[in-house]
Structure 1
Amino acid sequence: MDIGKQWRHIIDSVQDGIIIVDEKGCFVAANQTAQWITGYTEEELKGQSCRILNCTGCKIIGKGKGKNWCGLFSQGLIREKKCLITNRQNRTIPIIKSATVLFDDKKEIIGAVETLKDISENINYKNELASIKRMYHIDDGFHGIVGRTPVMQSLYELIESVASQDTPVMILGESGTGKEMVAKALHETGERASKPFVKVNCAALSEHILESELFGHVKGAYTGADSDRVGRFEAAHKGTIFLDEIGDIPLSVQVKLLRVLEEKMIQRVGANKSIQIDVRIITATNKNLEQLIKDGLFREDLFFRINVFPLTCPPLRHRKDDITLIIQHFINFHAEKTGKNILGITPEAMRLMVAYPWPGNIRELRNSIEYAFVLAREKSIGPEHLPEKIISHTSGETGSLKYLASKDTVFNDPTFEDTIKLGQSEKEKLLDALRQTDGNQSRAAKILGVSRITVWKRIKKYGIQLK
């Protein structure tokens, strides 16, 4: 059998795409799978530059042939590199590419053979698997976001619906609701997942610094600009840029940002040359942009450009049923981080946590668990380990716990009647009630007409030790 004559049937039977290019990067051949992946027929590809696939894994030099054409001819070999190509329908296809340079008898480069493996189905499978896990509560998290309530399930579905598109998304919600987590989930679920995710906190930067951060600058653009600098938009090329607190961007920067979004070109500060960029833009704010527009502080045209698909992160008080899950998530996280053998939270402490309104949302809850980890010594977090504001909320009291009073008070004379004397201070009343009840905090609370938590809080406040 003459295998040489059968090479065409052999490569067409291979499940991976196979393409052959000459030393100038022009297509010579493509098997059936490669035609299916790219959307082009072999006749349409032949003679065309490999640039038409816009492969993100190629370093095109374009100044001749062989090593002067692309980086592959210099390297000689590429193994399983994750890339994105653009097919004939202008859709982005994730692939894994391997390539080998071809030489003639004189060791001169005559071209290269590349294999392409379409992994888009694998990505779709992962997303479907994540949906199934959430449906049957196999996994509590969605790209790091914890929650099973209907309002969160709806948010996950919206994220999956828009993630695969480049539609601008604006994430709305109160401070601490997890807007950055949602932005990351959008990036990781979409087709740009393998590319950079760049965050910019617009509220943390002054007008002058913000422009340089976003668009970069050239050497000498202003005092202190000692060298060229790449901006965040350039750094996010082919990936996602997340503009957090976009409501704080000054009007002068808003004008330039709008131009970038419309023209997909940026210009470094101090330069007159434009640079083409390809980024997916996600924004977030906890401000009312429509009111800012009325006040003349935010451009209406920019608002409509970025608010194509709004997503709202619900506050924690609207998803109370998720609190137990989130608490356990943070307990597991801090247990691993600190090495403490803390396994959970007592029912009494959990009731306090659920009853609290959480104005700071997830961020405040996370900080509260971290606070409790500092104080806790046993395997469970109790009420005594929680921040004072959480305890005070239930009793309707405010103020700070102070551990400044005497530490040597001893209850050893239970000879008082169940009454509180007039004119006594708060501490004296507490001491009397505890002596009458042999230190029973629940009974003492009834005598004082307050909750048991208030009694416990006052014991801590005055440094009383029960014996």
Structure 2
Amino acid sequence: MEFGGCWEAVVENVRDGLLVVDNTGKIVAVNPSFERMTGYISSELVGESCRILNCTGCKIFGEEADTPWCKLFVMGKVKNKECVLTHKDGRTVHVLKSGMAMPGENGEAMAVVETLTDISQTVHQQEEIVSLRKDLCMDQGYHGLLGKSVPMQELFELIENISKSEAPVFIEGESGTGKELVARAIHEAGPRKGKPFIKVNCAALNESLLESELFGHVKGAFTGADRERIGRFEAAHEGTLFLDEVGDIPLSTQVKLLRVLEEREIEKVGDHHPIRVDVRLISATNKDLSQLIREGVFRQDFYFRINVFPISCPSLSLRKDDIPLLAKSFIERYASRDNKGIHGMTREAMETLMAYGWPGNIRELRNTIEYALVLCPRGLIGKEHLPPVITLTPVDLEPRQGKFVYSQRERDELARALEKNAWNQSATAKGLGVSRVTVWKRIKKYGLTPESLSA
């Protein structure tokens, strides 16, 4: 049986899009299904570079004659790869792509033939399902994060968008706001889910130990290095590396990290052989890096490199609507652990929590619940079971405690020192006998600004 021109009819009527590209990246042919999928007609595509489609699944090598155009020419084939194309009108088209390189007379790949299935409707349905599940199951949390307040809803949406990117993320926020949970949520919501999530507390290690921790070391690299060890970058290969307290990284290590981020290569301490690493970097700090840059202890170029996509964790004082949900979660967790028959809080106790300022954020709320569970024998946690710092007024507390959440005397002393030193935080810290970070935190705690003091 002779098929003759039947193949042309098959290509013209097949449901999937068909695309043929030569070894220079020029489109050779498309079928009607591909035209409908992309919005272009054949005459607008044939002879044009395939880059017109902005396919996210293509790795372009170059346009030189002796260089393969893309990864498909090297691998020979690809099967069922999820990609995104750009429609002629600018919208995105989700496709499932399979392709094969076609050899010429000399055996080298001269063209590739790709079939593309439009899965946009399926993807949109899955996104709607995920969104509905997130709305219905918010009490159980979003990748470990709890919250129904507007700031948290905005944060969840931001995480969803960030997770699809490979750009470095920089998380800012006060101590105790859950920066590590946000970093882990970004990892788990993205394509690197299932791969390693490695955390490094940069404030806990000195310079030499930090470099060994990050990059690893070879045997004999320094005293005590009795065997070779891989670093956190290697351990996080194909996953995510979370650098916490990034403001404490020494300048010399910042230089090395900058080079690693640019070249995607590391060298172990005591060795000079580069090792390729594929790591998504997330950094976090509760320090004012802009101030550290002005003081010369943080490199501006390193800051710009890690701060491609900034994200801020809201303090608990900005999301007080979430306090009942968070308190309920902590009560259930710790009451079950301690085998105590406690199942909630009295209205008075909850009103007390809602009226408090929470300078220690979620961490302080968690500690407060644990404290109350120790004192409460059973039933409901009452106001009498809460720590004194939560239940007493500033006037009651100031004469009894050297450190308190809010002190009018402390605020006034800070305000006078700031005005005296023209709002130079370093000079103010020196005059008060505290660290510059403490001055910065107190400014935020009391909401001080030059305008508020001059009013």
Determine the structure 1 residue equivalent to 2:313: 313
Return the offset for 1:156.
1.1
Q: Distance in 1 between matches of 2:131 and 2:366?
A: 26
Determine the structure 2 residue equivalent to 1:347: 347
Q: How does 1:213-362 map to 2 (within 5 A)?
A: 213-362=213-362
RMSD in angstroms over aligned alpha carbons? Answer: 4.3
Contact kept, 8 Å, 1:130 with 1:142, in 2: the verdict is no
Letter matched to residue 180 of structure 2:
E
Letter matched to residue 139 of structure 1:
M
Contact kept, 8 Å, 1:352 with 1:394, in 2: the verdict is no
- Listed one character per residue, the Cα deviations across residues 340-398 of structure 1 (whole Å, up to 9, x for unaligned) are 22110111111111111111100110111111112211111112221121112376425
Determine the structure 1 residue equivalent to 2:163: 163
Determine the structure 2 residue equivalent to 1:374: 374
Q: How does 1:52-451 map to 2 (within 5 A)?
A: 128-134=128-134, 136-140=135-139, 141-393=141-393, 396-398=396-398, 399=400
Determine the structure 1 residue equivalent to 2:5: none
Inter-CA distance 367–166: structure 2 relative to 1 (3 Å threshold): same
Letter matched to residue 190 of structure 1:
G
Contact kept, 8 Å, 2:57 with 2:81, in 1: the verdict is no
Contact kept, 8 Å, 2:368 with 2:386, in 1: the verdict is yes
How many residues are treated as equivalent by the alignment?
Answer: 329
- Listed one character per residue, the Cα deviations across residues 171-195 of structure 1 (whole Å, up to 9, x for unaligned) are 0010001111110111011111121
Letter matched to residue 234 of structure 1:
E
Where do 5+ consecutive residues of structure 2 fail to align?
1-9, 17-54, 60-68, 87-93, 97-118, 402-455
Return the offset for 1:122.
9.0
Could you say what secondary structure the match of 1:254 adopts?
helix
Contact kept, 8 Å, 1:39 with 1:88, in 2: the verdict is no
- Listed one character per residue, the Cα deviations across residues 107-146 of structure 1 (whole Å, up to 9, x for unaligned) are xxxxxxxxxxxx9999986664342244x45422211111
Return the offset for 1:199.
0.6
Return the offset for 1:166.
0.2
Contact kept, 8 Å, 1:169 with 1:308, in 2: the verdict is yes
Say which one has the larger Rg: 1
Contact kept, 8 Å, 1:127 with 1:189, in 2: the verdict is no
Contact kept, 8 Å, 1:160 with 1:189, in 2: the verdict is yes
- Listed one character per residue, the Cα deviations across residues 412-459 of structure 1 (whole Å, up to 9, x for unaligned) are xxxxxxxxxxxxxxxxxxxxxxxxxxxxxxxxxxxxxxxxxxxxxxxx
Could you say what secondary structure the match of 1:301 adopts?
helix
Determine the structure 1 residue equivalent to 2:90: none
Q: Distance in 2 between matches of 1:170 and 1:37?
A: 25
Q: Distance in 1 between matches of 2:276 and 2:390?
A: 51
Determine the structure 1 residue equivalent to 2:405: none
Contact kept, 8 Å, 2:138 with 2:148, in 1: the verdict is no
Letter matched to residue 266 of structure 1:
I
Inter-CA distance 369–130: structure 2 relative to 1 (3 Å threshold): farther
Could you say what secondary structure the match of 2:342 adopts?
coil
Q: Distance in 2 between matches of 1:197 and 1:51?
A: 33
Q: Distance in 1 between matches of 2:232 and 2:263?
A: 17
Could you say what secondary structure the match of 1:145 adopts?
coil
Contact kept, 8 Å, 2:345 with 2:380, in 1: the verdict is yes
Where do 5+ consecutive residues of structure 1 fail to align?
1-8, 16-35, 56-82, 96-118, 401-467
Decide which moves more: 125-134 or 141-150. Answer: 125-134
Inter-CA distance 395–185: structure 2 relative to 1 (3 Å threshold): same
Contact kept, 8 Å, 2:330 with 2:369, in 1: the verdict is yes
Q: Distance in 2 between matches of 1:374 and 1:196?
A: 37
Letter matched to residue 281 of structure 2:
I
Contact kept, 8 Å, 1:368 with 1:386, in 2: the verdict is yes
Q: Distance in 1 between matches of 2:338 and 2:373?
A: 8
Inter-CA distance 388–123: structure 2 relative to 1 (3 Å threshold): farther
Letter matched to residue 243 of structure 1:
L
Q: Distance in 2 between matches of 1:209 and 1:126?
A: 45
Return the offset for 1:336.
2.6
Could you say what secondary structure the match of 2:322 adopts?
helix
Return the offset for 1:259.
0.2
Return the offset for 1:48.
6.7
Q: Distance in 2 between matches of 1:273 and 1:87?
A: 37
Decide which moves more: 158-167 or 337-346. Answer: 337-346
Contact kept, 8 Å, 1:356 with 1:393, in 2: the verdict is no
Contact kept, 8 Å, 2:358 with 2:364, in 1: the verdict is yes
- Listed one character per residue, the Cα deviations across residues 284-304 of structure 1 (whole Å, up to 9, x for unaligned) are 011111111110000000011
Return the offset for 1:150.
1.1
**TM-score of the superposition, structure 1-length normalised?**
0.61
Q: Distance in 1 between matches of 2:81 and 2:266?
A: 23
Q: Distance in 1 between matches of 2:149 and 2:283?
A: 25
Q: Distance in 1 between matches of 2:128 and 2:231?
A: 36
**TM-score of the superposition, structure 2-length normalised?**
0.62
- Listed one character per residue, the Cα deviations across residues 190-228 of structure 1 (whole Å, up to 9, x for unaligned) are 111121111111011111100000000011100111111
- Determine what percentage of the aligned residue pairs are the same residue: 53
Inter-CA distance 283–121: structure 2 relative to 1 (3 Å threshold): farther
